[in-house]
Structure 1
Amino acid sequence: MTYNTQNTFKRNTLSALILACLANNAFANTVDVSAEADIERLTVTTQKRVQAIKDVPVTVSAFTGEMLEQLGIQDLDVLSEITPGLIIQEQSPNNPGFVIRGITSDSGSAQAAPRVSVYYNGTDISRSRGSYFELFDIERVEVVKGPQATLFGTAASVGALSVSTRKPQEEFEAGITAGVGNYAARNLQGFVTGGQQHIQGRLAFTYRERDGYIKNIAANQPDLNGIERVGVRPSVRFTPNDDVTIDVIYNYEKNNDTGTSFKSLRFAPTGGDTSPFSFVEASGSPLAAEVFGKADLGIDRTVKDVNLTINWDLSEQWQLTSITAKRQFDSLEVFDADGTQAWFLEFAEEASGEQISQEIRLNFNGDKVNSFFGVSYFDEEGSQRVPFSTEESIYLNCVGQLAALNVPCINANGTVNILTPVLTQGRFQTLPYSGVFQNYGENQAVSVFADVSYAFTDKLELTAGLRYVNEEKTSRYASNFANAVLAPVPLLPVASTSGRIFSADGRFDSWLPRFNALYRINDNLNMYATVSKGRRSEVVDVASANSSTGVIPRITEIPAETVWNYEAGFKGQTENNRLRYAISSFYQDYQNFQVTLQDDAGNFFVANAGNAKNIGVEAEIKLTLNASLEWFNNLAWIDAKIDDNSSNGNLAGNRFRLQPEYTLGTGLMYAQDLNSTYRVNSSLMYTFRSDIFFEEANAPVAGFDVSQAAVQLTSLRIGFENTQQNWSVTLSASNLFDKAYLVDAGNTGGSFGFPSFIAGAPRFIGLEFSKTFM
């Protein structure tokens, strides 16, 4: 069947926009206005003060913890399904990708800066390998689109994801949720909170485990895409008086997932086929324990952070806020990059980082003026170490350097040819080969920022903000690859430093402004416009190169990527608040657009792709149909491309990777009392995403298509609740119709002509029991 993506999306878009335009009148005739229900009046803290979401002159999507729980959202990537303009790709907890309006932030290099700010309890945790966290015991999620340096720091060059966890309370309350599901899934979450007038505490925890959904027939290796994740979050709130609130939050998370299902479409596993959705034979390296420090495929990742936030009401108008935080992460991921049974492209990635930050902010809230200003300090050290393991003859044969022998890399029956005995005339049966390259990054940033909003009239409010940032960066690189026995050079095309560390420094600064206008058309409808500048800071890229005098440093300074964002929109609601809607359009102009590429050795590096343009429309609509039923919609059209001119090289005219042109999400949330004791609580959610490219080149890799056609997913939850005894039972299904789709394609293996493909999650079915104690 042919599926017309564009026509289908246009019909959905037209319907949704008509719905918004008729908001103030039409629904008075169709909605049960006598019902005692309306949409929750949502407030956000995007502008560092509590505001109704319609009074914030930027494009922001916000969700309460209660809504996430009703929809059963526990994974970061599922936020994409309810947020226009946001895509989160989760290969693994070690390798998430955050995409806002087509701009991807997923580089694992310690030398490159993030593009999307990820904030956790007011602290920047944007570094890719340390940015994943479990969604449990959440108070609020805010997704802010467009450059927001004044609000969320320099990493917010295209937007920010901000998550706040629930805080302690004085009244005693506790809850526990336990669940089971297919693929031997088990989960346990809970919390307990309480205290007295001046001190309260809260302890929240989560444990989730599930077998891998891609079977791995290789001996001594686990099935892939399984999870085992633990999170514990104790927090304490001190309130010595009515003016001071002190929050101390410690967060610990441990991930032991079974690894990512990279699979080759070139060679089938023994007795299998090349479908990414069938079983694999990812055998890894027999020397993994020695070379990588972990014997089996998978992830060993630990994250620890502590946050101290002090809010002090100096007067009715002035408030002082101090946020002090430290975050550490260590992760080791072992993966089979070729996706076959051959001991060929076996890699690991060991990433670590430590971040220390301090922000002091002073807020003023007046009748006409609202402002904040302050200073922040951010210090980060990180490293990315990539060891490699292979067998020499297998590697040379698979990459085509032994073609004269006319022996395939892998035979039709699935066996792997080891040619070392032939090539060495029996002196060696195998020739293990290993090497390692590593990059390091240090970044110190000091910022001064200010933001002022002034209400010129009851209808018109203007905002101006500015952040000055000064950064000092140090990048380092080292590699250690010996010459192979069967070849007089290193197997990977790396200029080996023999362990020597090459280093380079840089110092950069920038001014990042924003200007906003808010016009209140009436009590229920606001119009806004914004102009803002974003910046992804310069990259000091350090590598190595061969010269006539030996191996020397290769230092490249990639210019800062800058973007000017122009945006306008409407936010409104009906008089009775049964309908809430927001529509925005934007235009973004990029200079020195930075892309992440891979070289022939599998090294990721940042390159300048020239200029780029990005235009789009986003909309959100939420409607209370009656006292029991709410309907929500989000949709986006984003046309994000590198400028089509010869100065932009081979990438000219290409779409941004991971960004669909059209997305749509729609859902129903239903809650109905059956009698005075029992209640039904359920939700249904459908999402649509048009086709995407997984690589910047927008082209096949080694003859294999590395894109994904349109994807449609449906999830369903049906709950039965006892409101007197505070317990509930919920049956859930994600990917209800078991659609097959890809999470990623190309990957490290693509650099060697062996692109790998990662299957998306199949249908998951679960049953949960929850109990609350008060």
Structure 2
Amino acid sequence: MASLTTTPFQKSLVSTIVIACLAGLSATAVAETDDGVERITVTTQKRVQAIQDVPVTVSAFNGEMLEQLGIVDLDVLSEITPGLIIQEQSPNNPGFVIRGITSDSGSSQASPRVSVYYNGTDISRSRGSYFELFDIERVEVVKGPQATLFGTAASVGALSVTTRKPQEDFEAGITAGLGNYSARNVQGYITGGQPTVQGRLAFTYRERAGYIENIAANQPDLNGIERFGIRPSLRFTPNDDLTIDLVYNYEKNSDTGTSFKSRRFAPTGGDTSPYSFVEASGSPVAAAVFGKDDLGIDRTVKDLNLTLNWDINDQWQLTSISAKRRFDSLEVFDADGTQAWFLEFAEDATGKQFSQELRLAYSGQKLNGFVGVSYFDEDGNQRVPFSTEESIFLNCMGMLPSGVPCINADGSVTILTPILTEGAFEVLPYQGYFQNFGEHSAYSAFFDLSYALTHRLELTAGLRYVREDKTSRYASNFGNSVLAGVPLLPVASTDDEIFSADGRFSSWLPRFNALYRLNDNLNFYATVSKGRRSEVVDVGSVHSAAGVVPRVDIIPAETVWNYELGFKGSTASNRLRYAVSAFYQDYSNFQVTLQDDAGNFYVDNAGNANNIGVEAELKAAITPDLEWFANLAWIDAKIDENSSNGDLAGNRFRLQPEYTLGTGLLYGHDLNRHYRMTGSLLYTFRSDIFFEEDNAPVAGFDISQAAVQQTSLRLGLENSQHNWAITLFANNLFNKEYLVDAGNTGAAFGYPSFIAGPPRMVGLELRKTFL
């Protein structure tokens, strides 16, 4: 069982949170207005329901709230959602964390833990799961295993995003903005049509210079963005009973690369702070080895979705969702974070997915639910090429008795090849690669039924059966170096030969829920559900007496039983809405992602783990002009303190803070008939986190982040007569320094790297709507 001992700081934080909540309740109690907060409806259980009638823990936000808070990045959803952390190293490498459990593996052989749904379709594969938040109708974040609702990838929860659909009436809008770091953005949409056919076109373009200066020649400043997205959609409504939606989404990311910064060696004339300039020189032969000559990302995603909803009669509805998605992502990065041609890597990941779901839903006075079947097919690969100069690599790894430092005091890098080869070579470029492939087909049958035993008590039971066929492949090529006579990375090279293995797995995944309506404004619920991250067919290579042969490990399926109690309610006037839940999760065969000595990520079994926590959300109408919201979570997620769990026993899960708090204000005041003042304030707190499951320093450097506080502010003026608005904004208002990640690929070689989070971002936006 996780320890419940609290420090004085934690007690102080809890007291502060309680006082803030009481202050909000007090302010609500004395407010004279009868206006309430907006009533939220969700489709979590595949039907439209008031959020408090859903017997699971779910946070939901409409597009208007996202726009009022200026949320256009997935990771910012963490600030308004208890129990959710989204880490964005780059569009190629997002990490989704729900209740302490991270889903971010780029390996094509491993399965995701968090379902990311886009217009009703699973897009959970890490390298293809990032997308721009533009023209959004609704975001729902569901916590706990939800296999019957969101598929097998939802072993710990799901993030579901629905885009806005076409409408018959003409409407168009455009937003343009400027900011520091040469930031520019433009978003827009146009929609309209006839009674039977409507269309919508939405687009976004954002660019910003890198906020970490890179002094290396011919390399860009780092953490810059350039992102474009366009989404045409059509809606066909041939009659009142049939709706057909066709949505195509295209996104292109050309970011300048991630600021991996070394703490061991400073750039020329600089220091080792992650927040100061870097000298990431990359590989001089990057174009030939990686297919891209500078640091950065080249990523394309294409997505096509066809959804059919047919109201057969007043009780029965048939839904068909067909989707096809393809991503192609190349990221070139300097893993050592120095000016040395040392640990230069790229990741070239591709994937294509097809899914089909058929669902028949019934809606009655007492019985509601659905039954269905689905098919999901995915084919992906992840290729990791490597480039270095032989003498630099051997010297920096301490394998040469030269006495020459890896990087000299003046910032220069000595190439020892001419000396070691007696002038035969000036430089000795070395390269190699390893690559994993994964083919995954899943066939599912499922049902989920809710029955009202009385007008107060409703019971829900669901079950999904899934059969998965998996094929994993692996290949590598690392030749002997000239200087060392062996491969520079400890990889058993297959010399381009592809090793393969497959497996077939199946499982039954149930959920049980009870909802009790104490009165019209307060509901209690209880949940028991099972989640599963499927078996991993881990294929690699190993040396043997017969030469290099396949290494095949079947990592057991990770299973979790989730037990949860909660209540949701509102005051009679709906001026206060609240939700509180407590959960306990028991894991078996907990899968962790680790790195080997070659920098290759792999999945291993860490044994048993447990997870306990409390989450809460509040929203209150303080006055007709002012709303206050708050969310908080306490999550104590650890691997069991059992010797059978090895070196990770007792360690906290990576990326998960023990305490999080997000609170803010939404303001809107009519100055006169035509002008309105708007504003929003968002404050977030996150306690300390570890970036690796080891919870230990690497090469003497702490791989963690202390507590972080951030504040964002937006102030605007709207004109209702001419439908325009102008907004000033500041994110990270007080310019707090914090890390996005630490350790990374360089840690496997004793050269951990550190990634700085964004500094203060300020700007101005102008919006115009045409009706």
**TM-score under structure 2 length normalisation:** 0.98
Residue number in structure 2 paired with 1:646: 643
Amino acid at match of 1:371: G
How do 1:212-227 and structure 2 match up within 5 A? 212-227=210-225
Residue number in structure 1 paired with 2:163: 165
SS in 2 for 1:405: coil
One of 653, 660, 665 as aligned partner of 2:662: 665
2:490 is the counterpart of 1:493: yes
One of 297, 304, 307 as aligned partner of 1:306: 304
Output the CA distance in 1 between the equivalents of 2:78 and 2:605: 28
Residue number in structure 2 paired with 1:15: 19
Quick one: structure 1 residues 311 and 392, their matched pair in 2 at CA, closer, same or farther if it must change by over 3 Å?
same
Give CA-to-partner distance per residue, 1:255-285, whole Å, 9 cap, x none.
0000000000000000000000000000000
SS in 1 for 2:623: coil
Contact 2:201 2:232 in 1 (8 A): yes
Output the CA distance in 2 between the equivalents of 1:354 and 1:319: 30
Quick one: structure 1 residues 362 and 121, their matched pair in 2 at CA, closer, same or farther if it must change by over 3 Å?
same
Quick one: structure 1 residues 177 and 495, their matched pair in 2 at CA, closer, same or farther if it must change by over 3 Å?
same
Residue number in structure 1 paired with 2:105: 107
One of 707, 711, 715 as aligned partner of 1:714: 711
Give CA-to-partner distance per residue, 1:509-540, whole Å, 9 cap, x none.
00000000000000000000000000000000
How do 1:45-124 and structure 2 match up within 5 A? 45-124=43-122
Measure how far apart 1:31 and its partner are: 1.9
Contact 2:28 2:576 in 1 (8 A): no
2:385 is the counterpart of 1:381: no
2:341 is the counterpart of 1:337: no
SS in 2 for 1:347: strand
Measure how far apart 1:5 and its partner are: 4.4
Output the CA distance in 2 between the equivalents of 1:488 and 1:567: 58
Residue number in structure 2 paired with 1:258: 256
Amino acid at match of 1:220: N
How do 1:243-642 and structure 2 match up within 5 A? 243-402=241-400, 404-642=401-639
Output the CA distance in 2 between the equivalents of 1:666 and 1:188: 28
One of 139, 146, 149 as aligned partner of 2:147: 149
Measure how far apart 1:27 and its partner are: 6.5
Output the CA distance in 1 between the equivalents of 2:73 and 2:245: 25
Quick one: structure 1 residues 101 and 139, their matched pair in 2 at CA, closer, same or farther if it must change by over 3 Å?
same
Measure how far apart 1:9 and its partner are: 2.2
Output the CA distance in 2 between the equivalents of 1:617 and 1:734: 28
Output the CA distance in 1 between the equivalents of 2:252 and 2:90: 13
SS in 2 for 1:49: coil
Measure how far apart 1:29 and its partner are: 3.8
Contact 1:16 1:621 in 2 (8 A): no
Identity of matched residues, % = 77
Output the CA distance in 1 between the equivalents of 2:316 and 2:766: 45
Amino acid at match of 1:284: G
Amino acid at match of 1:521: L
Give CA-to-partner distance per residue, 1:62-95, whole Å, 9 cap, x none.
0000000000000000000000000000000000
Residue number in structure 1 paired with 2:750: 753
Residue number in structure 1 paired with 2:759: 762
Contact 2:535 2:558 in 1 (8 A): yes
Residue number in structure 2 paired with 1:185: 183
**TM-score under structure 1 length normalisation:** 0.98
Contact 1:660 1:691 in 2 (8 A): yes
Contact 1:5 1:710 in 2 (8 A): no
Output the CA distance in 1 between the equivalents of 2:458 and 2:653: 35
Contact 1:77 1:87 in 2 (8 A): yes
SS in 2 for 1:751: helix
Amino acid at match of 1:186: R
Number of positions where the alignment pairs a residue of Structure 1 with one of Structure 2: 765
Give CA-to-partner distance per residue, 1:437-466, whole Å, 9 cap, x none.
000000000000001100000000000000
Contact 1:729 1:770 in 2 (8 A): yes
Output the CA distance in 2 between the equivalents of 1:27 and 1:420: 73
2:195 is the counterpart of 1:197: yes
Measure how far apart 1:8 and its partner are: 3.6
Amino acid at match of 1:351: A
Output the CA distance in 1 between the equivalents of 2:159 and 2:382: 24
Contact 1:9 1:664 in 2 (8 A): no
Quick one: structure 1 residues 672 and 286, their matched pair in 2 at CA, closer, same or farther if it must change by over 3 Å?
same
Output the CA distance in 1 between the equivalents of 2:67 and 2:369: 34
Give CA-to-partner distance per residue, 1:651-676, whole Å, 9 cap, x none.
00000000000000000000000001
Residue number in structure 2 paired with 1:33: 33
Output the CA distance in 2 between the equivalents of 1:443 and 1:15: 50
Gaps of 5+ in 2: 1-6
Residue number in structure 2 paired with 1:44: 42
Residue number in structure 2 paired with 1:733: 730
Output the CA distance in 1 between the equivalents of 2:90 and 2:28: 47
SS in 2 for 1:408: coil
Amino acid at match of 1:168: P
Measure how far apart 1:613 and its partner are: 0.4
Gaps of 5+ in 1: none
Measure how far apart 1:422 and its partner are: 0.9
Output the CA distance in 2 between the equivalents of 1:12 and 1:122: 39
One of 680, 684, 687 as aligned partner of 1:690: 687
Quick one: structure 1 residues 44 and 148, their matched pair in 2 at CA, closer, same or farther if it must change by over 3 Å?
same
Amino acid at match of 2:30: T
Contact 1:531 1:564 in 2 (8 A): yes
Output the CA distance in 1 between the equivalents of 2:569 and 2:17: 18
Measure how far apart 1:4 and its partner are: 6.6
Give CA-to-partner distance per residue, 1:318-352, whole Å, 9 cap, x none.
00000000000000000000000000000000000
Output the CA distance in 2 between the equivalents of 1:538 and 1:373: 26
Amino acid at match of 1:7: K
SS in 1 for 2:735: coil
